Amino acid sequence: MKLFSTILILCCCVASLYGQNLARKVSFSYNRLALKLVLDDISADHDVYFVYSPDYIPTSQPITISVNNIALSEALDKLFDPLPVAYKSIGGQIVLRPVEKNPPPRITNKTIPKEVDQQSPLYADPRMEEIIAERKKRWAQSSPTISGRPAPQKLPSNTESKSLENLTATRFDPLVIDSTLLMEEEVAAAPVPNSDSTTDSTSVVINPKKNLPRLAQISLLPFLGSNFVQSARTTNRVSVNLLWGHNGGVEGLEIGGLMNSIRNDVQGIQIAGLGNTVGDDVLGTQAAGLFNIATDTMVGVQGAGLFNILGRGSALQGAGLFNIARHDFAGVQAAGLFNIAGKNSRAVQVGGLFNVSGGRTRLQVSPLFNIAKDVNNGQLSTIINVARQVKGVQIGLINVADTVSGVTIGLLNLVRKGYNRVELSTSESFLGNLAFKIGVKPFYNIFYLGARISEAQNPGNNTEESIKELTWGLGYGFGTAFSLGKRTLSNLELISIKVNEREGWTRPLHQLHQVRLLFDWRLGKRMSIYAGPTANLLVSSRKDPELGIGGSELVAKTTLYDKTDANKRSQGWIGFNAGIRL
């Protein structure tokens, strides 16, 4: 009972979380703009989330509309009135469905008896068989037959074409609808044969989701329960399946020992020991030991030990292994392994391994990797984040994006339309420097290579003949850039350089740390010059034959800091750096 109360409270919280007021006042104006762009703009400006399938909704239809300070419901009525589209508010979402604006007329023949209102909450009306038999009899009598074959009927004479006088038309066999079909489907429109007319045509519109209402049912297995063969055509307020049940719909509560299977919609709560499956929409909660499946729209909560799958909607999904939303999704996905949202999502995805979103997403958090088309808030992982457009933050070992309007923080940030620069410079320590800077202005990575040529006396020659030796450095750092004017900016950078002095690789500690403050003047579209001071700190355990422990020719003659202990030496000074940036 405590678990049941908790689930009800959670459903209420989710419903209130995504609730939206259709009475709010809105204003917008569009002139021959595609429907998809109109819906996206309304969503962004008025915090309205539309759920639809572009396969059935004419998203490319040009829209011309102008509303000013009217209720959202009135604005939507005006927007969708000329389109074959109907909308319905489910939870906090506006669900769009294709409709036929001018459906065929419904049956109006007074000779067809009306349906008898259901009197029993558990069993079918006992007079239904008599009603169906009477209906068959009336329809059969309305079509005269000769020797069991349809009687030919002559067409009216046409004075303009005498050749038509010999033409005859044969009436079709009487329309017979099986009783089981009547129990399952609602006949929306069909002609009634009339002996005075020969031009009627047959047109039937079926509503397969029209079920028989019941207060309650109990079953052991599919079709082995109180509703018997009518189970798949029945919507129950309360449904109890001892092992496995198959019903038409639920508008209340369904509990199953093993499985609950619903053909159409669920509005309420489903609880099963193994799994719940719904063939259409779910408005409410699904909880199961292994899995939950909602084929179409889901608004509510899905909780399962293994996995949850839904078509589209707004929900909270929690599973031990994975969650999948095949189309548009809003809400939260949390799983032990991974989460997948097929298309656009306003969701938070938290996965034990990875997260994938086929469209726009809000936030992705995982240990391995996150992949999305567009990101509104951020991606956080320990290895790699991949997105097209990022409006927020990317934090990971490797971050990949096309454009970023926020910041990417990682060891390697690859942004195609970002702050990507190549620098050639000189300084007092290394006369030649090459640097690659990649990322975005708020945070970018620096890959550095520096070198200098030194002259030293040849130890194998007693003369003063000297030889040239190479001192080089390999470094990594990061920085930030901020604009000072239209053509000027400033860089603040931190770099650590491994120094190999006069040898291929210096094994002892020999590290140069730099803090740079640079000022950049742009000369052209991509080229600029820069210069600025550098604060240097060399920490070394290398023993120089001439300069002693920690000695280096990189150190300026005048130092601001010089400290030596038992096995290393630290020296600090102010230098400079200047160069060309491409």
Q: Please give the pLDDT value at position 473.
A: 94
For residues 306 and 288, the answer to whether their CB atoms sit within 8 Å is no
Percentage of residues in the chain having pLDDT higher than 70: 76
| Banded model confidence at residue 142, pLDDT cuts 50, 70, 90 | low
Distance (Å, rounded) from C-alpha 247 to C-alpha 263?
6
Reported confidence tier of residue 90, pLDDT bands at 50, 70, 90: confident
Q: Could you give the count of Cα atoms lying within 13 Å of 555 in the half-sphere of its Cβ?
A: 21
Considering the domain architecture, whether residues 537 and 556 belong to the same structural domain is answered as yes
pLDDT digits (tens, 9 = 90+) for 67-89: 998 988 888 888 888 888 888 88
Is residue 28 one of the residues assigned to a domain? yes
pLDDT of residue 320: 95
Q: Where a domain ends, among 45, 75, 98?
A: 98
On whether residue 134 sits in a domain, the answer given is: no
**Residue 61 sits in a domain of what CATH number?**
3.55.50.30
Report how far residue 354's alpha carbon sits from residue 462's, in angstroms, rounded to the nearest whole number: 67
Residue that finishes a domain, picked among 38, 64, 98: 98
Question: Quick check: 39 and 106 in contact, CB under 8 A?
Answer: no
> Cα-flanking dihedrals φ and ψ of residue 365, to 5°?
-135, 125
If asked whether residues 438 and 460 sit together in one domain, one would say yes
Domain assignment present for 174: no
- Give the per-residue pLDDT at 171: 38
Report the pLDDT averaged over residues 191-214. Answer: 51
**Which string of DSSP letters, residue by residue, matches 197-227?**
-S-------EETT--EEEEEEEEEETTEETT
Does 502 or 550 have the greater pLDDT score? 502
**Same domain for 425 and 406:** no
Residue whose tokens read 């290579």: 449
Pick from 189-203, 296-310, 503-517: least confident? 189-203
Question: Is residue 93 within 8 Å of residue 314, measured between CB atoms?
Answer: yes
- The alpha carbon of 425 is separated from its chain's Cα centroid by a whole number of angstroms, namely 45
Give the model's confidence band at 580: pLDDT under 50 very low, under 70 low, under 90 confident, else very high: very high
* pLDDT exceeds 70 at position 123: no
Distance in angstroms (rounded) separating the CA atoms of residues 32 and 174:
50
Same domain, 525 and 576: yes
Average pLDDT for residues 192-220, to the nearest whole number? 59
Residue 63 vs residue 144, higher pLDDT: 63
Per-residue pLDDT for 227 more than 90?
no
- pLDDT classification of 208: cutoffs 50, 70, 90: low
> How confident is the model at residue 210, as a pLDDT?
61
Given pLDDT bands bounded at 50, 70 and 90, which one contains residue 103? low
Could you tell me what percent of the chain has a pLDDT over 90?
A: 47
Q: What is the mean pLDDT of residues 300-328?
A: 94
Q: How deeply is 436 buried, as exposed, middle or buried, from its count of CB atoms within 10 A (0-12, 13-18, 19+)?
A: middle
Confidence (pLDDT) at 180: 38
Structure tokens at 187: 């006949």
Check whether residue 442 and residue 406 sit in a common domain: no
Q: Are 415 and 407 contacting, i.e. CB atoms less than 8 angstroms apart?
A: no
Query: Quick count: other Cβ atoms within 10 Å of Cβ 141?
Result: 12
Whether 281 is covered by a domain: the verdict is yes
pLDDT at residue 125, as a whole number: 55
Same domain, 365 and 446: no
Instruction: Copy the structure tokens of residue 510.
Output: 């020999």
324 and 427 in a single domain? The answer is: no
Of 176 and 362, the one with more pLDDT: 362
**Do the domain assignments include residue 113?**
no
Total domain count, the chain: 3
- What's the pLDDT at 42? 87
Is the distance from CB of 99 to CB of 81 less than 8 angstroms? no
Rounded to 5°, angle at Cα 495 from 491 and 499: 145
User: Measured between alpha carbons, how far is 106 from 187 in angstroms, rounded to an integer?
Assistant: 8
Any domain includes 124: no
Q: Which pLDDT value is given to residue 233?
A: 87
Look at residue 192 and tell me whether its pLDDT is greater than 50: no
Are both 478 and 390 inside the same structural domain?
Answer: no
Give me the pLDDT at residue 225, please.
Answer: 87
Do the domain assignments include residue 182? no
Which pLDDT belongs to residue 113? 52
Distance CA 352, CA 339 (A): 9
How does residue 128 score in pLDDT terms, banded at 50, 70 and 90? low
Domain that holds residue 344: 218-415
Regarding whether 368 and 352 lie in a shared domain, the answer is yes
Confidence class of residue 464 from pLDDT cuts 50, 70 and 90? low
Lowest mean pLDDT among 15-29, 79-93, 278-292, 516-530: 15-29
Task: Considering only residues 213 and 402, tell me which one the structure prediction assigns the higher pLDDT.
Answer: 402
Judged by average pLDDT, the poorest of 8-17, 213-222, 477-486 is 8-17
More confident position, 89 or 268: 268
Task: With beta carbons less than 8 A apart as the criterion, state whether 185 and 206 touch.
Answer: yes
Taking Cα atoms as reference points, which of 581, 570, 488, 572 lies closest to residue 534?
572
Residue 161 has pLDDT above 90, yes or no: no
Picking from 387, 415, 443, the residue at the C-terminal end of a domain is 415
Would you state the pLDDT for residue 554?
87
pLDDT over threshold 90, residue 99: no
Alpha-carbon distance 191 to 292, whole Å?
43
In a domain, 169, yes or no: no
Residues 411 and 425 in one domain: no
Residue 541: is its pLDDT beyond 70? yes
Q: How many whole angstroms separate alpha carbon 204 and alpha carbon 190?
A: 5
Same domain (yes/no): 244, 374: yes
- Mean pLDDT for all residues in the chain: 80
More confident of the two residues 453 and 141: 453
Over range 97-115, report the average pLDDT: 60
pLDDT band at 462 (very low <50, low <70, confident <90, very high): low
**Selection from 6-10, 184-188, 226-230, 496-500 with the highest mean pLDDT:** 496-500
- Say yes or no: 409 and 426 in one domain: no
